[in-house]
Amino acid sequence: MQLRQLSLVIRLAGEQREEASQRLGTGKQQWQAATQQLEQLQSYQAQYIGQAQQASQQGIPVQALAEGRRFIAELEGLIATQQQSVNQQSANLQALTEQWIEATRYLNAVNRLKDKRVAEQQWSLERREQQLVDDLYSVQQKMQAARKS
């Protein structure tokens, strides 16, 4: 593969990595939002349970106690649903991280290949230059030998 082609591949690989990076950032924001919402629900549940316990110690009607328990059960359902969302976002974040890592590896590999090709071309150029110098020296030596004879 020629350097010009490798440069194009490197540019495309860089764009792929940038896109993967953007998707990873979005995925991280979604995971953080889901996690924050879960924490808020858990905090609200803890506060409500604390208030309900205080109220029950002071004596509350049976109907209010039943409604409180129903509400706590609803909160537990919401928390379970939100935990599933956090788990899904976490799995998505892991997949996006792996995609970013793979895009970075590919870009690095193509960059190393380009560096290798540049070094090979430089070595080949130096070898040709050395061959020209050697040929010139040989011709000069033959011309000097011919003059002497």
Calpha distance 134→122 (Å, rounded)? 18
Please state, in angstroms and rounded to a whole number, the distance separating the CA atoms of residues 118 and 124.
10
Handedness of CA 126, 132, 138, 141 (dihedral sign): negative
What is the pTM assigned to this prediction? 0.74
Q: Which CATH number fits domain 3-148: 3.40.50.10470, 3.40.50.300, 1.10.287.1700, 1.10.1660.10?
A: 1.10.287.1700
Count other C-beta atoms under 10 Å from residue 89's C-beta.
Answer: 19
- DSSP designation for 60: -
pLDDT in tens, 59-108: 888 888 889 889 999 999 999 999 999 999 999 999 999 999 999 999 99
Residues 6+ apart with CB under 8 A from 9: 1, 110
103-135, pLDDT tens digit by residue? 999 999 999 999 999 999 999 999 999 999 999
H helices within the chain, ranges in order? 3-58, 62-148
